[in-house]
């Protein structure tokens, strides 16, 4: 096996964000761009003899081309074996499971998650470590540092591997194994959830609709819902993956999953339960008949009902949420007498807590929920958890949520996303709010008194690592809060997220639409941030 040393020049824009490096496809198609980043990842690692690398992605455009390159670079950099999902397909949670199940050295996941695909869309790549978790900031910072000074990369002179044929291909001491990307994950789900109870629910006249958004979860949904749970074929929509996600935007929210939302809000004929997952399968949206479940509420409900589900009937050790996520799960943890951890955004922050046995269930308001069965958020897992709860309680989605609010109170919550803002304008908003830190406390806005404001920082309770500047918090004396945060998942301009939360203990007010109930907080956020004047945006791109 011939190994080539290829001369290259560094790129200065390869800093990984919240979940790896995401750029336009055309950026990754530049000569040496992909190779430089992959080599920088490999150079940041000490690769042992016999190391196995898991590889796959969400099937977006450039996925198959990148996989062939990475296989050859893995061979040149000392890996003994690459396990690649058939057709290059592998959902993010399934990749985490495979890494853990087969005790591999780690994995490369090729995805830009919920971002658009196609020739003019986005592409991404991230490294997950041997516990299945996204690489820590220590590793990603090391990768970025190496990417700025790289001069050569290594690549083996090998033919392309047929990714559509299951089996192994041997090249001297190097092996490529093309495996079924669905079965191991589906088998895991069957150990966590009562498939017989869910089958009984689906056979009772209960109607569901799952939207795969032409993304990676399509094959998983067909195996689990059709083959194992015997749902009717019309329970699935958009479950054939495509390189451009059917021309859509594979983000499961009320804006981009518009077709599913219309079906679920069509009146009496709507299905009883609706759900969607995103590009790489780690996000989820839950809907009832004419009813949207916020991700924060979904996390709290899953934690509150965990003992009803066979994989968690022994109880859960603790819960964790990202800082911008509402405090709904905190109230559940308090009643259950278990710890609740508040972390920065990014699933990598949950990995240490899970490995230490501190938490079982975690979630982020950005439509991500999961448990210690993997080290990633998991869209289909959340959908199955809801179906399991529905199969046992035999109540409607809205009944379950509203009864939860009666017991725990309602954390009224919403997120307003302002996408593709010029970076200078977005940074101006953040800098302006920072400049007001000293004067905001004790000021009154719309009857709400500012208690404190800060830029959230986090010290990992397991390894002591510190993360700073994780989002601006403005906290009010009545428990309300506003959070401002620049997202690290976009590829064009900046995405400014504004999170709004107020606690409502009175069930007489639980019927209010979140935007109505939060109208005063929305005006306060705009007043404090001067967002409209500084960005020229009068309305958010997405409201969830």
371 assigned to active site: no
Cβ atoms within 10 A of the Cβ of 533, count?
13
Q: What is the pLDDT of residue 491?
A: 59
The β-bridge partners of 516 are none
The β-bridge partners of 155 are 4
Q: Which CATH architecture has domain 3-181?
A: 3-Layer(aba) Sandwich (3.40)
Q: What is the pLDDT of residue 489?
A: 55
Say if residues 17 and 488 touch (Cβ distance below 8 Å): yes
The β-bridge partners of 84 are 55, 178
pTM: 0.92
Task: Examine domains 185-408 and 410-543 and report if their fold is the same.
Answer: no
State how far Cα 9 lies from the chain centre.
33
Cβ atoms within 10 A of the Cβ of 48, count?
10
* DSSP secondary structure of 238-272: S-S--TTGGGS----STTTTHHHHHHHTSSTTS-S
The tokens describing 176, both together, are 């490529």
Distance CA 37, CA 42 (A): 9
Going from the C-alpha of 381 to that of each of 104, 133, 190, 311, 389, the distances in angstroms are 22, 16, 10, 11, 12
Going from the C-alpha of 505 to that of each of 219, 292, 325, 403, 407, the distances in angstroms are 42, 20, 18, 13, 9
Determine the Cα angle at 294 with ends 510 and 126, to 5°: 165
Please state which CATH class domain 410-543 belongs to: alpha beta
Using the structure block, give the residue that is written with the tokens 């399991």: 388
Cβ atoms within 10 A of the Cβ of 49, count?
6
Say if residues 479 and 502 touch (Cβ distance below 8 Å): yes
Which of 464, 462, 466, 467 lies closest to 356, judged by CA? Answer: 462
Which of 500, 495, 494 lies closest to 527, judged by CA? Answer: 500
Q: What is the pLDDT of residue 451?
A: 97
Q: What three-state secondary structure class fits 464?
A: coil
Q: Classify burial at 421, counting beta carbons within 10 Å of its beta carbon; exposed 0-12, middle 13-18, buried 19 or more.
A: buried
Say if residues 146 and 32 touch (Cβ distance below 8 Å): no
Distance CA 185, CA 66 (A): 24
Element holding 116 (H helix, E strand): none
State how far Cα 453 lies from the chain centre.
27
Say if residues 104 and 90 touch (Cβ distance below 8 Å): no
H, E, C per residue of 405-436: HHHHCEEEEEEEEEEEECHHHHHHHHHHHHHC
Q: What is the pLDDT of residue 347?
A: 86
Catalytically annotated residue among 96, 113, 270, 322:
113
Q: What is the pLDDT of residue 103?
A: 97
DSSP class of 280: T
Q: 185-408, what's its fold?
A: Alpha-D-Glucose-1,6-Bisphosphate; Chain A, domain 3 (3.40.120)
Tally of CA atoms within 13 A in the half-sphere of 319 that contains its CB: 32
H, E, C per residue of 142-163: HHHHHHCCCCEEEEECCCCCCC
The tokens describing 11, both together, are 């790129």
Using the structure block, give the residue that is written with the tokens 């399509």: 218
Find the radius of gyration of the CA atoms of the chain. 23
The tokens describing 430, both together, are 């953040």
Q: What three-state secondary structure class fits 333?
A: helix
Q: What are the extents of the domains in the chain?
A: 3-181, 185-408, 410-543
Element holding 525 (H helix, E strand): helix 519-529
Q: What is the pLDDT along the chain (544 residues), one digit of tens a residue?
A: 999 999 999 999 999 987 799 999 999 999 999 999 999 999 999 999 999 999 999 999 999 999 999 999 999 999 999 999 999 999 999 999 999 999 999 999 999 989 999 999 999 999 999 999 999 888 999 999 999 999 999 999 999 999 999 999 999 999 999 999 999 999 999 999 999 999 999 999 999 999 999 999 999 999 999 999 999 999 999 999 999 999 999 999 998 999 999 999 999 999 999 999 999 999 999 999 999 999 999 999 999 999 999 999 999 999 999 999 999 999 999 999 999 999 998 888 898 999 999 999 999 998 999 999 999 999 999 999 999 999 999 999 999 999 999 999 999 999 999 999 999 999 999 999 999 999 999 999 999 999 999 999 999 999 898 889 999 999 999 989 999 999 755 557 899 999 999 999 989 999 989 999 999 999 999 999 999 999 999 999 989 8
Q: Classify burial at 285, counting beta carbons within 10 Å of its beta carbon; exposed 0-12, middle 13-18, buried 19 or more.
A: buried
* DSSP secondary structure of 15-44: --BTTBEEEEHHHHTSTTHHHHHHHHHHHT
Distance CA 124, CA 112 (A): 4
């Amino acid at each position: 096996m011939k190994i080539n040393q290829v001369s290259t020049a560094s790129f200065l824009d390869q800093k990984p964000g919240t979940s790896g490096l995401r750029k336009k496809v055309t950026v990754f198609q530049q000569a040496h761009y992909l190779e430089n980043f992959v080599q920088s990842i490999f150079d940041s690692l000490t690769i042992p003899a016999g190391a196995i690398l898991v590889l796959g992605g969400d099937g977006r455009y450039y996925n198959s081309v990148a996989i062939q390159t990475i296989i050859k670079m893995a061979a040149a950099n000392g890996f003994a074996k690459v396990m690649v999902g058939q057709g290059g397909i592998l959902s993010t949670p399934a990749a985490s499971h495979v890494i853990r199940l087969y005790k591999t050295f780690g994995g490369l996941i090729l995805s830009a998650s919920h971002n658009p695909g196609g020739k003019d869309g986005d592409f991404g790549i991230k490294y997950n470590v041997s516990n299945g978790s996204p690489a820590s900031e220590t590793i990603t910072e090391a990768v970025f540092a190496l990417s700025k000074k790289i001069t050569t990369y290594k690549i083996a002179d090998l033919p392309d591997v047929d990714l559509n044929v299951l089996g192994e291909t041997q090249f001297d001491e190097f092996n490529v194994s093309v495996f079924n990307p669905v079965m191991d994950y589906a088998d895991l789900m069957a150990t966590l959830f009562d498939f017989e109870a869910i089958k009984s629910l689906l056979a009772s006249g209960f109607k569901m609709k799952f939207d795969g958004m032409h993304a990676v979860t399509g094959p998983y949904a067909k195996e689990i819902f059709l083959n194992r749970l015997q749902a009717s074929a019309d329970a699935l929509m958009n479950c054939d993956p495509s390189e451009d996600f059917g021309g859509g935007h594979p983000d499961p929210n009320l804006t981009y999953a518009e077709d599913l939302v219309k079906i679920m809000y069509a009146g009496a004929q709507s299905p009883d339960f609706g759900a969607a997952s995103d590009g790489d399968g780690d996000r989820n949206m839950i809907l009832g008949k004419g009813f949207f479940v916020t991700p924060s509420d979904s996390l709290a409900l899953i934690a509150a009902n965990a003992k009803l589900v066979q994989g968690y009937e022994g109880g859960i050790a603790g819960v964790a949420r990202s800082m911008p996520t509402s405090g709904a799960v905190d109230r559940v943890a308090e009643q259950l007498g278990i710890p609740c951890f508040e972390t920065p955004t990014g699933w990598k922050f949950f990995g240490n807590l899970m490995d230490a046995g501190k938490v079982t269930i975690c979630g982020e308001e950005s439509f991500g929920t999961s448990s210690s069965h993997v080290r990633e958020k998991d869209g289909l897992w959340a959908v199955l958890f809801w179906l399991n709860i529905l199969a046992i309680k035999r109540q409607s989605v809205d009944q379950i949520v509203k009864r939860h609010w009666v017991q725990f109170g309602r954390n009224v919550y919403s997120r307003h996303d302002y996408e593709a803002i010029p970076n200078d304008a977005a940074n101006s908003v953040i800098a302006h709010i920072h400049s007001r830190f000293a004067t905001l406390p004790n000021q009154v806005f719309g009857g709400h008194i500012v208690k404190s404001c800060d830029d959230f920082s986090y010290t990992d309770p397991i390894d002591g690592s510190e993360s700073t500047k994780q989002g601006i918090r403005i906290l009010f004396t009545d428990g309300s809060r506003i959070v401002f945060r620049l997202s690290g998942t976009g590829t064009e301009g900046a995405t400014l997220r504004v999170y709004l939360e107020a606690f409502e203990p009175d069930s007489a007010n639980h019927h209010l639409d979140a935007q109505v109930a939060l109208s005063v907080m929305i005006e306060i956020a705009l007043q404090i941030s001067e967002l409209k004047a500084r960005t020229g945006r009068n309305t958010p791109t997405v409201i969830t």
